[in-house]
Amino acid sequence: MPASTAPVRLVLASRSPARLATLAAAGVTPRVVVSDVDEPAVLDAARAGFGGDLDPADAVLVLAQAKAEEVSSRLADDDEDGASALVLGCDSMLELDGTIVGKPADADEARSRWRAMRGRSGVLHTGHWLVDARDPEDGGTGGTLGASSSTTVHFADIDDDEIDAYVASDEPLHVAGAFTIDGLGGPYVDRIEGDHHGVVGLSLPLLRELLGELEIPWRSLRDPR
């Protein structure tokens, strides 16, 4: 059976301006509904369920799923119109020396993080989870699935003054791994191995593949021209 080309309404379960901008640049304007999950509690429950620590790629996927499912459930309860949509949850973490690091708690932690990262490499993991909450008459499948993208990031060997100036910009305090590639942190990333969009926080190629699993063509998300 051919995939439907009817327009699909996407809900982004994230407050990330970078994720929103990535979708907008690709011609997609989602509705933003920020998730309200307790991330440490979600990870603790997952570790208990799996009986041990989670791989970084699994940890971000667990959080992405929790965010997508929480928003989908909330829309179904509170907003009949908004319930008939495709919900996307995302989460990103940096893996450095086998340790998962998210957003720094404060400027001191951001400075310490950068002193540990400079001149070295880490892996940025981003989890993606889709919940197809569309009505069956709109082509909804009830499907739910996800995957993670992982990109190796090689950081520049910058000095303490450069680190202090970057941290003073306040940007590192609001992003996973205390850096961006599409903002003020871009000059401090020498190169990457993998998907650029995954480092920004939303892998467009991976999202397209997940949509394909639900028989939703990418073009159905794009805004009408």
Q: Which residues are catalytic?
A: 91
d(CA 217, CA 7): 10
The pair of structure tokens assigned to 163 is: 């680190």
Residue 108 parent element (H or E): helix 107-117
Partners of 87 in the beta sheet? Answer: 11, 131
| Dihedral (Cα; 211, 195, 147, 127), 10-degree rounding | -110
Answer for the pair 131, 86: CB distance below 8 angstroms, yes or no.
Answer: yes
Residue 11 near residue 33 (C-beta atoms within 8 A): yes
Classify 176 in phi/psi space as left (phi over 0), alpha (psi -120 to 50) or beta: beta
Give buried/exposed letters for 170-189 (b at 16+ CB in 10 A, else e). ebbebbbbbbbbbeebeebb
